[in-house]
Amino acid sequence: MFYQEIKFGTAFVLEEALSSQILGYVCGIQVLDEFSLTNISVKKDYQNRGFGFQLLEYVLARLIADSCKYCYLEVRVSNTKAVSLYEKFGFEKIGIRKGYYSNPIEDAYLMRLELTNTIKRRVK
């Protein structure tokens, strides 16, 4: 599924300039004016340095430039850091997907961001 998203969807990679080491990536699929963010990840040693923020900011700017109206994602209920990041950008919880994740089984928040001409960030 991951390779299909890269091949047929949208994928961006964040590389370290000197070593070309991959620090993080984001994948998703756009259908008409809606984008589904399917995966965003930052290498463990590079987390909490703003790279996830940069990746998400870049993707949202691209979506706005492409006249996309909505961005959706699912996130583990227990992933409070990710939920907090998404909420800083203006994502809202619009539902819960029961048992969405496996290993371990866990619910997911369904979140949505209505895109406008500017990125809505609620950085505190």
Percent of the chain at pLDDT above 90?
Answer: 49
Task: Report angle CA 88, 10, 95 to the nearest 5 degrees.
Answer: 45
Domain limits, the chain: 2-114
Which helix (H) or strand (E) element contains residue 104? none
Encode pLDDT of 80-105 as tens digits. Answer: 999 999 999 999 999 999 999 999 99
CATH code reported for the domain at 2-114:
3.40.630.30
Encode pLDDT of 30-50 as tens digits. Answer: 889 999 999 898 999 888 898
Active site residues: 74, 86
What pLDDT sits at residue 46? 87
What pLDDT sits at residue 2? 61
Q: Is the pLDDT of residue 117 over 50?
A: no
